[in-house]
């Protein structure tokens, strides 16, 4: 699968950088870390094996230059981690790295705000080219024949309105947690959760928690079509 990379400047792998690899598979993290440190000796490479670990790293390292993000890890639902990263650090470019290279997965990663997509089976030279392109301010996605989905475009626009905390609340709703349980999980007051739930439902155009949970679950179906209708915007 050949990649189309658009490079917006002359910068590349030679510049000092701080990169985080978010993947819960130790061998993948080790291999990517070795590859990056060999190709970019001046780079600082961090790793995170869960969504909570990613968030902790974002707080501790405001100077991150790039995130390499797996779609499947503890605490995340498919594209939810990408959406959370984009909401929390919109200036941080994210390359999705996944073993699922279904054309629609690639298209959705692009629509949900990734700067690039790399199949885990990609040759080393393609991986480094993609990283160089994105590090230089460009984009890099494999060529694919997936049509842009109007439903995904609308869904991405809805999700982009959520704050990072509202996205966390939505994920808790999708897990079937009650407000009291969400408050305990996020360590906030129950009244605060109620405010966030109301905001989530309003921004997603949902009238019930059940419909909001169904929309959240759509994020897991990277290769398939949404299995529930989008509500009309409120």
CATH code for the domain defined by 150-218: 1.10.10.10
- Tell me the pLDDT tens digit for each residue of 154-205: 888 889 899 989 999 999 999 999 999 999 999 999 999 999 999 999 999 9
Band (15; pLDDT cuts 50, 70, 90): low
Band (124; pLDDT cuts 50, 70, 90): confident
Residue ranges of the chain assigned to CATH 3.40.50.2300? 3-142
Q: What topology does CATH give the domain 3-142?
A: Rossmann fold (3.40.50)
**Average of pLDDT values for 219-230?**
56
For 1-5, 39-43, 76-80, which range has the lowest pLDDT when averaged over its residues? 1-5
Portion of the chain with pLDDT greater than 70, in percent: 86
Residue ranges of the chain assigned to CATH 1.10.10.10? 150-218
pLDDT of residue 10: 43
Cα–Cα dist 127/89, whole Å:
23
């Amino acid at each position: 699968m050949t990649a189309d990379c658009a490079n917006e400047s002359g910068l590349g792998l030679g510049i000092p950088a701080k990169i985080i690899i978010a993947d819960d598979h130790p061998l993948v993290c080790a291999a990517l870390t070795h590859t990056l440190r060999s190709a970019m000796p001046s780079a600082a490479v961090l790793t995170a094996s869960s969504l909570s670990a990613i968030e902790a790293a974002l707080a501790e390292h405001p100077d991150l230059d790039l995130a390499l993000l797996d779609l499947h890890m503890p605490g995340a639902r498919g594209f939810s981690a990408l959406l959370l990263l984009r909401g929390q650090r919109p200036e941080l470019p994210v390359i999705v790295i996944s073993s699922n290279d279904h054309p629609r997965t690639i298209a959705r990663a692009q629509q949900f705000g990734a700067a690039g997509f790399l199949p885990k089976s990609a040759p080393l030279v393609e991986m480094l080219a993609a990283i160089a392109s994105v590090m230089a301010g460009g984009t890099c996605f494999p060529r694919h024949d997936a049509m842009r989905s109007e439903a995904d475009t609308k869904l991405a626009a809805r999700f982009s309105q959520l704050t990072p905390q509202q996205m966390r609340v939505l994920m808790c709703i999708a897990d079937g947690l009650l407000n009291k349980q969400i408050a305990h999980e996020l360590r906030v007051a129950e009244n605060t959760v109620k405010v966030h739930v109301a905001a989530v439902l309003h921004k997603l155009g949902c009238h019930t928690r059940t419909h909001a949970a169904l929309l959240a679950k759509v994020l897991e179906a990277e290769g398939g079509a949404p299995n529930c209708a989008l509500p009309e915007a409120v």
